[in-house]
Structure 1
Amino acid sequence: MQSVPLIDISPLTSNDKDAYLSVAKKIDHACREMGFFYITGHGISSTQMKNMFDLAQRFFAQPETIKHKILIANSSNHRGWGTTGSEQLDPTQPQDWKETFDMALDIHPEHPMAKACPQLYGPNQYGTLEGFAQQMNQHYGLLMVVAKRLLKAMAIALKQPDDFFTQYFDDHISVLRLLHYPPRPTNSDISAATKAAGAHTDYGCITLLAQDDIGGLEVCNAQDQWIAAPPIKDSIVVNIGDLMQRWTNDQYRSTAHRVASPPSHTHRYSMPFFVEPRFDTQVRCIDSCLKPGESAKYDMVTSGDWIMSRFDATYAYRTENP
């Protein structure tokens, strides 16, 4: 059965043009065939990754009364802690069995971007865990460097200027998320059909995912078969999101994926980084993605409008109290 490709992207930081173009070609192929691939050679150390997973465990181990003080439902710009069951990624299935923490660019409410789009820009809610805000922001910056490297390679593969995508990331709305998948309680009324995360596609351009060694990530390939994307040491999983699929007129696939519930008495942690351009970015079909006589499959949409429409469809708190 088809497996998720593994690509060493270290040549993207070299001066060897042939090696660079070879990697860009591999990325392009993976984006078209599966919409998912692993990367190594990304430059983020295994020590940094371990420190982040340790941080996630410490954050989620806090008492609920402490986490509740930074409840995402009380944030006007979708930042903070999300309770177990607050997300329903697959509308045909029960709510997901996980808890979350979301952060993005941390800016003052009076900042021009926050005034222009207060639903997506503004301050983060960190809580009081020592060193948490600093470590989260450091990792956020490291991931954005990798993301821009990948976006540049994709632009080149699509026969566009190097900065075709990265030009929209000066005031981006990218989100770093911590995820905790706790064991499902025994002898409860929680449906056996409940997934840790239901089948869904991601909303933005690309996602960079770090996962622990528990496993459970599953990807739907072009033949509609669910295949495992198990942990690979020191790798990051990359997948295409909806905005990139729209930009490329379906040439790059925004692939459905899900997370199976972890084994009994097992806690699973992961960290997706959702790479999303500034809120007013107009996403319309790239000319080089149109075949002769073909027309665009999607109308133009702004990044912010698309992301907010997906939030409203996924999070109950956004529609329960309009």
Structure 2
Amino acid sequence: MTFEVPIIDLTAFVTDGEPDARAATARAIDAAASTVGFMQIVGHGVPQPILDDFAAAQDGFFGLDLEVKKRYRVPPPINRGYSPPKSESLSLSLGVEQASRMNDFFEAFNIGVAASAHPRLELSIIDYAENVWPQEVPDFRPAVSAYFAEAGRVARTLATAFAQALELPAGYFDPFIDHSQDVLRMNNYALPPGTVDLDGELTGMGEHTDYGILTVLWADQVAGLQVLGADGGWHDVAPADGALLVNLGDLMARWTNERWLSTLHRVKPPVVNGTIARRRSAAYFCDGNADAVISTLPSCIGEGSKYEPVSVAEHLRVKLAGSRYLQPNTNAPREAARVLAAQRGERG
């Protein structure tokens, strides 16, 4: 069976298109979510100048000296600011002891929704921490903020389409994401010579599933991202021209009782002439309201739920404890079983 990440045109939902067009898009989303867990989204409406300025802002920050970037580290458990190379291990979020524990060599910078964005709500300053902004790159904050707003719009448009795809009432997901603790993680895989041992098992970002509801990924058209297929093999995936990659997270797999897939993926950047080819990406994680409780959807419960209800905050904290604070996740037995089955080329 050929592995393919389908290209889906979101125009009908971005522009409030005709019912037949929206229904066709919803069917395409359901097919992709049920078989691959990834999709390529075109017709998303993000203006090219915003994308160009966003890319330049990342270049400006990641081009700074390492000691300057380290000034923007934020201590745990706050999920903001700079993460230096080899300071995280995504595989430890899986709850799978066999997963590689090699520290991932990417560097990253996180921003997210802050409590101050919802002054009428009493939100946790841990889950909704204020952002730190690098002063050395004046254009960084406006450019990144502009893209953050656009990615959030795309995520919420997708949530509308998802409700239709899952035979749910219009706006079903709105109460779960109206103060979603969304995070934008900008990743850079170009490191100075001598910082990494270029061996055959080099891992830019270890195998993992995303934690939340859905992820909107902007990325260079450079090889590196690999997705685990139903055949048990790893397949290279790069965005098509003008496309944003979208994949589903563990909360959506729980919500849909595994009708939709949270697919294992990793990053293994190519090594060219003894150096790592540069690759940039930025993942917008739509993770849901911290106080929302995720229970199996009524259209997916079937003969019974595979998961107990869980709050978004509880779920994310144990996941982040694995990736950022190197504590193996021991609270996800069903997810661990699903990951191991996928590694064997099975459907759990």
Normalising to structure 1: TM-score of the pair? 0.91
Quote how far apart the aligned CAs of 1:53 are.
1.3
CA distance in 1, matches of 2:290, 2:312: 5
How far apart are residue 306 of structure 1 and its match? 0.5
Deviation digits for residues 283-319 of structure 1 (CA, Å, limit 9, x no counterpart) = 000111022xx11000000011101110001113789
What is the correspondence of 1:1-322 to structure 2 with a 5 Å cutoff?
1-12=2-13, 13-72=15-74, 74=75, 76-91=77-92, 92-93=99-100, 94-108=102-116, 111=119, 113=121, 116-128=123-135, 129-183=137-191, 185-186=193-194, 189=197, 192-263=200-271, 264-291=275-302, 294-316=303-325
Distance 2:270 2:56 in 1: 18
1:51-85, CA deviations, whole angstroms, 9 ceiling, x for partnerless residues? 2111111111112222112103x265211000101
Equivalent residues of 1:200, 1:257 under 8 A apart = yes
Q: Select between 50-59 and 301-310 the one with higher mean Cα deviation.
A: 50-59
Cα 1:247–1:306, aligned 2, differ >3 Å: closer, same or farther? Answer: same
Q: Is the 8 A contact 2:127 2:181 kept in 1?
A: yes
Distance, in Å, in 1 between the alignment partners of 2:198 and 2:88 is: 15
Count of residue correspondences: 315
Q: Which moved more, 1:206-215 or 1:42-51?
A: 42-51
| Contact in 2 for aligned 1:215/1:231 (Cα 8 Å) | no
**C-alpha distance in structure 1 between counterparts of 2:160 and 2:216, whole Å:** 15
How many percent identity over aligned positions? 28
Asked if the contact 2:269–2:277 (Cα under 8 Å) also holds between the matched residues in 1, the reply is no
Deviations along 1:154-212, whole A, 9 cap, x unmatched? 11111111211122222110111110012474596576423111110000000000111
**DSSP 3-state at the match of 1:307:** helix
Q: Contact 1:175 / 1:273 at 8 angstroms: preserved in 2?
A: yes
Q: Which amino acid aligns with 1:21?
A: A
Structure 2 counterpart SS, 1:271: strand
Q: Which amino acid aligns with 1:295?
A: G
Match of 1:238, SS state, is: strand
Question: Gaps (5+ residues) in structure 1?
Answer: none
**2:36–2:261 contact (8 Å) kept in structure 1:** yes
Conserved? CA contact 1:106–1:123, under 8 Å: yes
What RMSD over aligned residues (CA atoms) do the two structures have, in Å? Answer: 2.1
Change (3 A) 1:192 1:15: closer
CA distance in 2, matches of 1:87, 1:285: 31
* 8 Å Cα contact 2:215/2:283 also seen in 1: yes
Task: Give the direction of change, closer, same or farther, for the CA distance of 1:32–1:153 in structure 2 (3 Å limit).
Answer: same
CA distance in structure 2 between the partners assigned to 1:125 and 1:186 by the alignment: 29
Change (3 A) 1:262 1:112: farther
Deviation for aligned residue 1:106 = 3.1
Q: What runs of 5+ residues in structure 2 fail to find an aligned partner?
A: 93-98, 329-348
